Chains A and B, each alone.
Chain A
Amino acid sequence: MAEAVLILSIVVATLRAATPLLLAGLGELVAERSGVLNLGVEGMMLMGAAAGFAVRALSGSAALGLLAAILAGIAMAALFALLTLRLLANQVATGLALTIFGIGLSALTGLPWAGVPAPGLAATIWPGLAHAPPALQQVLLLDPLVWIAFAGVFAVDWFLRRSRAGLALRAVGESAEVAHALGTSVLRIRLAAVLFGGAMAGLAGADLSLAYTPMWAENMTAGRGWIALALVVFATWKPWRLAAGALLFGFVTIAQFQAEAFGLSLSPDLLSTLPYLATIVVLVLISRDATRLRLAAPAALGKPFRPTD
């Protein structure tokens, strides 16, 4: 029984650690499939985290908090879209500037909410969580955002492969010029994809500030936006591989902690390289088939599009 609970808790801890990476990654994946590279994920996540926490503290409603986080992410993404889609500014530089801006603005606007305690999402939904039996507690800890993240994998996968709009989005990401010539509204699709990326990054931030570590603290994402970006490349722009990558990354981190708690004698610094090394090793293993990889990468990624006629 005790071992079963231990295994269950490792599974739950892995799922929860993977959730923010997966949420942000799914949004970025869709944006990149439309041909837009937005390196501002970290900044959008932080704005989502700050806005989500603030609105929840003001309104008392976690649902409104989540909504605010999504809107904050969208607002940041809209800024990015204005610069890159409309003014044709460089996507890489604009994305990085968005991160610098988001780190600063979230800290500035979040200042009144630093140090306001709040219960986590799971404890809000299940008030008796702290006293539930261990196995049940683990299951209840899987808050709605975890389910949303993994349901999102199905949804995005279906959207990209089966829906008309998804087909158009992929076409735009492969060649904006060809898609345009066929009468597809390139900029509108890219705008939608970028805003979706912002919404998901905002939600990922809210997963941290409302569910996983319910608080607002400056720079609390601690680099998860960057990991999410890397996982999209790792996933070769495929939702299922993204889920696998996020779970792998989460699991290796949890496994490192488990090993240490069991008293494994290894340097903590060297152990903490494991998630990064594991990601590289798996990437190497899955990247060897060069032709398939080339097919997977959106050909127009990062290239601006200007309607010519």
Chain B
Amino acid sequence: MRLEKREAPSAAMLWVAPLLAAATSVVLTGLLFTALRVNPFAALRLLYLAPLASANGVAELALKMTPLLLCALGIAIGVRANVWNIGAEGQFTMGAVAGGGIALALGPAGGWYVLPLVLAAGIAGGMAWAAIPAALRIGANAHEILTTLMLNYVAQDILSWLVHGPWRDPQGFNFPQSRTFADAATLPTLWGTRLTPIFFVAMLAAPCAWLLLQHTTAGYRLRVAGLAPAAARYAGFSARGTVWLSLLIAGGLAGLAGIAEVAGPIGQLMPTISPGYGYAAIIVAFLGRLEPFGIVVASALMALLYLGADGLQMHLQLPLSLTGTLQGMLLFLLLAADVLVANRVVWRRAPAAAHAPGSMR
């Protein structure tokens, strides 16, 4: 068996491949459950269907995918421009810190202007944090993979310092939590669930990202910078502009995700606000093939995997580590199946030339 590059990506495989991977994963997972003496139908149902069995479950899925979607869109735009932003986690945190800081500073003050101000501060916080690696890359040639990763840890320490110290709730027995935000600084929830309107903002961000990449000059420059840096330089596109634009967009989106989390379901600042959304979003971005619409699907899938893990523990007492293993397996299969989009499988012996050094075998 060998792979042969298709002349153009297969449109059919674009859809068939992930379904094939999902089906394979379901079969493998079922076999694994059987080996563990767990009813595979019950387990698969808990993993993939039970989370969506109620309106509240669907709302929880939408809530969970919101930060993944926002962060992943930013990461994808960056990668398309060859800017490697591993720092969504830190930008998320600083968005929460900046927006949360405004919410705390305004205190119980009410008014229509509070929430927009809080959200704007969150976006600005994420952008500001992303501006540091941008400036270091432009000004000092420091690689953003390292600076963004390091700044994630720094952001977490800053949040920790704030909630353990200056922003600690004075009525809170010195526990590390801020005051809960006033109603005016909290996002409204929809239909009696925990879902906030930011979900729809995130869903709207996807087509916007698509428009930006495909139909604007700026997007064109980003893509050229990613695909052919030398050509971009030759065409006179500013490398500075590319770095700044992609990192600021990514920072703003991640910052929005962060403030939406603390001004939404959490309602206050505390030491832990992200269970690693910024890192999970990197995999979502690639799983979505760096295409905004693919990322929407990928973030929903990732969110579903998180929710399914709850049920397996609650009802079957299966350890969380088992779900992690299954998640890894599914991701491998999805990634492997993507090969079929750009390649076709040829079931014959390779021509003699392919046995030359460097062949696949």
Decide: A87 and B161 in contact? CB cutoff 8 A.
no
Decide: B5 and A306 in contact? CB cutoff 8 A.
yes
Q: How far is the CA of A183 from the CA of B355 in the complex (A)?
A: 12
- A277 neighbours in B (Cβ, 8 Å): 150, 154
Decide: B141 and A230 in contact? CB cutoff 8 A.
no
Decide: B157 and A273 in contact? CB cutoff 8 A.
yes
Q: How far is the CA of A236 from the CA of B144 in the complex (A)?
A: 13
Decide: B165 and A267 in contact? CB cutoff 8 A.
yes
Q: How far is the CA of A180 from the CA of B354 in the complex (A)?
A: 12
Main secondary structure of the interface of A (DSSP, over half): helix
Q: Mark B267-304, 1 if CB is under 8 A from A, else 0.
A: 00000000000010011001100000000000000000
Q: Mark A76-110, 1 if CB is under 8 A from B, else 0.
A: 00010001001111101110111011111111100
Main secondary structure of the interface of B (DSSP, over half): helix
B135 CB, nearest partner CB in chain A, Å: 10
Interface presence of B208 (CB below 8 A): no
Decide: B142 and A276 in contact? CB cutoff 8 A.
no
Decide: A230 and B335 in contact? CB cutoff 8 A.
no
- B149 neighbours in A (Cβ, 8 Å): 226, 229-230
Count, chain A residues at interface, CB 8 A: 56
- A293 neighbours in B (Cβ, 8 Å): 141
- A105 neighbours in B (Cβ, 8 Å): 321, 324-325, 328
Which residue of chain B has the shortest Cβ distance to A181 in the bound complex? B358
List residues of A (200-235) whose CB comes within 8 Å of B's CBs.
Answer: 218, 226, 229-230, 233-234
Interface presence of A290 (CB below 8 A): yes
Decide: A287 and B140 in contact? CB cutoff 8 A.
yes
Q: Which of A107, A186, A289 has the most CB of B within 10 A?
A: A107
Interface presence of A117 (CB below 8 A): no
Interface presence of A307 (CB below 8 A): yes
B350 CB, nearest partner CB in chain A, Å: 10
Interface presence of A283 (CB below 8 A): yes
Count, chain B residues at interface, CB 8 A: 53
Known: A107-B319, A234-B146, A307-B360. A79 touches B157 (CB 8 A): no
Decide: A267 and B150 in contact? CB cutoff 8 A.
no
Segment at the A interface, from B22-30, B217-225, B336-344: B336-344
Interface presence of A137 (CB below 8 A): no
Q: How far is the CA of A176 from the CA of B15 in the complex (A)?
A: 31
Interface presence of B201 (CB below 8 A): no
Q: How far is the CA of A287 from the CA of B138 in the complex (A)?
A: 11
- B335 neighbours in A (Cβ, 8 Å): 83, 89-90, 93-94, 97
Interface presence of A284 (CB below 8 A): yes
Q: Which of B5, B79, B146, B151 has the most CB of A within 10 A?
A: B146
Which residue of chain A has the shortest Cβ distance to B335 in the bound complex? A89
Interface presence of A280 (CB below 8 A): yes
Q: Which residues of B contact A (CB under 8 A)?
A: 3, 5, 79, 136, 140-143, 145-147, 149-151, 153-154, 157-158, 160-161, 164-165, 279, 282-283, 286-287, 319-329, 331-332, 335-336, 338-339, 342-343, 353-354, 356-360
A-B contact pairs, 20 of them (CB 8 A): A83-B336, A87-B3, A87-B336, A93-B286, A94-B332, A96-B282, A101-B328, A108-B324, A180-B358, A183-B356, A184-B357, A230-B149, A230-B150, A269-B157, A269-B158, A276-B153, A279-B150, A283-B142, A288-B141, A307-B360
The 8 A-B pairs at the shortest CB distance, nearest first, are namely: A101-B328, A104-B324, A93-B286, A107-B321, A269-B161, A97-B331, A104-B325, A185-B357
Contacts A43-B328, A105-B324, A230-B150 known; 15 new A-B pairs at CB < 8 A: A89-B339, A92-B282, A100-B283, A102-B328, A104-B322, A104-B323, A108-B322, A184-B358, A186-B357, A269-B158, A273-B153, A277-B154, A283-B143, A287-B140, A288-B140
